[in-house]
A and B are shown apart, each in its own frame.
Chain A
Amino acid sequence: DTAVSQTPKYLVTQMGNDKSIKCEQNLGHDTMYWYKQDSKKFLKIMFSYNNKELIINETVPNRFSPKSPDKAHLNLHINSLELGDSAVYFCASSQKDTQYFGPGTRLTVL
């Protein structure tokens, strides 16, 4: 009965590949987010969707494309992976002001 889940938990891939990370929430929240946590543990928002509509789109390379098939899912697709994309990616959801986070996906680009 996990509230916010992400798959996969770990992702190791070569430079230049395309990969996706999936996120699902069963809290009935309207808004979902993607965050990136770098090697220095700095957390920064990337995107947010509200009812499948893009709300926040920070300065992120256009190789990153979020997709929200329905309000319970927000997937992150990354094209042409680069070494600098290695990080932990967190999904989150909220209804009001408190955000609930997923367990994170550790992406390693070799």
Chain B
Amino acid sequence: AQRVTQPEKLLSVFKGAPVELKCNYSYSGSPELFWYVQYSRQRLQLLLRHISRESIKGFTADLNKGETSFHLKKPFAQEEDSAMYYCALLIKAAGNKLTFGGGTRVLVKP
């Protein structure tokens, strides 16, 4: 069965420092991976997906099939990056089922 693991429940960094959120997955098929973000009192929203290979709000994530990882990185964290981040695996064959990791709360201190 598919599984997504985010080992860090909380990451606390200072403004301007780099931040990396770890995500590992297990899935026997070809993975489609996403990062979703939930800012305080806001709804969950898509941050980025591996297919697009884009940088959003300074964040990037690279799919590493050898290590089954999809870590999220930003070189210089900003206070507005404080939020809950979820890594998610999409399985189209299962009706577009999204399996989420446990989430990582990021706190960027001034």
Contacts and interface: CB of A to CB of B under 8 A. Distances in A.
Interface of A: 4, 31, 33, 40-45, 48, 50, 55-56, 90, 92, 94, 97-104
The DSSP consensus for interface residues of chain B is strand
A90 B44 CA distance: 9
B86 A101 contact: no
B96 A94 contact: yes
Interface string B95-110: 1111110110100000
28 contacts: A4-B43, A41-B102, A43-B86, A43-B103, A45-B98, A45-B99, A48-B95, A48-B96, A50-B95, A55-B96, A56-B97, A90-B43, A90-B44, A94-B96, A97-B32, A97-B49, A97-B51, A97-B92, A98-B34, A99-B96, A99-B98, A101-B43, A101-B44, A101-B45, A102-B43, A103-B42, A103-B43, A104-B43
Interface string B38-50: 0000111110010
A53 to B, nearest CB: 10
The DSSP consensus for interface residues of chain A is strand
Given A44-B100, A55-B95, A103-B42, 11 more contacts: A4-B43, A33-B98, A41-B102, A41-B103, A43-B100, A45-B99, A56-B97, A92-B44, A97-B92, A97-B96, A101-B44
